[in-house]
Amino acid sequence: MFYEVIKAFRDKTDNLKLINVGDSYSHSDESRVAYLVKKGFLTEKSKQPPKEKVKHIGAGWYELPNGEKIRGKEEALEALESGE
């Protein structure tokens, strides 16, 4: 099951990887997920894998699912919608 991240955190089970708000999160240990939901980091999203979206990579740059990097969130979303 996938969960939506509603508060950023570092995942202690994955080498302190930063998990950002809006990301999807899943884990094989249900007690870990339950803990994160209880603490307010996650909310249940869906049983479907996450849809492709732009990913913020820092300093105003966004990465599209095809690996292309674009500056500006609006420009990245437009590029994603237009299929570039």
Q: Could you tell me the residue range of the domain that residue 78 belongs to?
A: 52-84
Residues 42, 56: one domain? no
How many domains would you assign to the chain? 2
Residues 42, 6: one domain? yes
Q: Could you tell me which residues come within 8 angstroms of residue 2 by beta carbon, excluding any fewer than 6 positions away?
A: 24, 25, 26, 45, 46, 47, 48, 49, 50
Residues 37, 57: one domain? no
Q: Please tell me whether residue 41 adopts helix, strand or coil conformation.
A: coil
Residues 14, 28: one domain? yes
Q: Give the pLDDT means over successive 10-residue stretches in the chain (84 positions).
A: 88 91 88 92 66 81 88 86 70
Residues 7, 32: one domain? yes
Neighbours of 35 (CB within 10 A): 13
76 CA to centre of own chain:
16
Predicted confidence at residue 61, as pLDDT, reads 93
